[in-house]
């Protein structure tokens, strides 16, 4: 019998991050150019300090007007206490968390350090490959 995958098996280990002092205009450009729905915010020690979502960017754009590039920093608009998961967590546990939050991605944090991120799509893909018999 196969064992159910864990978060580490499915998470992205290479991904974009920004710092709290990144200007919002730059963060918005990263999200758009990389086609991301959110980005992790880390300090110089790679500790997760927040997450910036498309919704946060929309708030910024409304706040600063339609044509002006926002000059505020990410730390003013990010979620400072995002929900996180550990790399050793089973994907069923992570799937349950996704059912309870509106976020499309969750940071993966081990011992206070950001080590990856996992999306709802990663979980669906992992569960589908686990429950679908090989042909």
Residues 98-122 have pLDDT tens digits of 999 888 889 999 998 999 999 999 9
Helix (H, G, I), strand (E, B) or coil at 111: coil
The domain ranges of the chain are 7-131
Measured CA to CA in angstroms, residue 100 lies from 82, 97, 118 at distances of 13, 5, 15
Render pLDDT for 11-24 as a digit per residue (tens, 0 to 9).
999 999 999 999 98
| Strand pairing report for 17-18 and 105-110 | unpaired
Tell which CATH classification among 3.10.580.10, 3.40.50.720, 3.20.20.80, 1.10.10.10 matches the domain 7-131. 3.10.580.10
Quick one: pLDDT band at residue 132, thresholds 50, 70, 90?
low
Burial readout 9-31 (b: 16 or more C-beta within 10 A, e: otherwise): ebbeeeeebbebebebbebbeeb
- Residue, of 28 and 129, whose pLDDT is higher: 28
The pLDDT score that the predictor gives to residue 105 is: 87
């Amino acid at each position: 019998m196969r064992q159910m995958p864990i978060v580490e098996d499915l998470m992205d280990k290479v991904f974009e991050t920004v710092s709290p002092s990144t200007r919002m205009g730059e963060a918005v450009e990263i999200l758009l150019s990389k086609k991301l729905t959110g980005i992790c915010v880390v300090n110089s020690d790679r500790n997760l300090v927040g997450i910036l979502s498309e919704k946060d960017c929309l708030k910024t754009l409304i706040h600063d007007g339609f044509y002006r590039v926002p000059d505020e920093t990410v730390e003013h608009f990010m979620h400072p206490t995002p929900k996180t998961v550990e790399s050793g967590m089973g994907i069923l546990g992570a799937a349950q968390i996704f059912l309870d939050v509106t976020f499309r991605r969750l940071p993966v944090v081990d011992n206070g350090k950001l080590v990856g991120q996992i999306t709802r799509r990663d979980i669906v893909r992992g569960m589908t490959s686990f429950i679908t018999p090989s042909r």
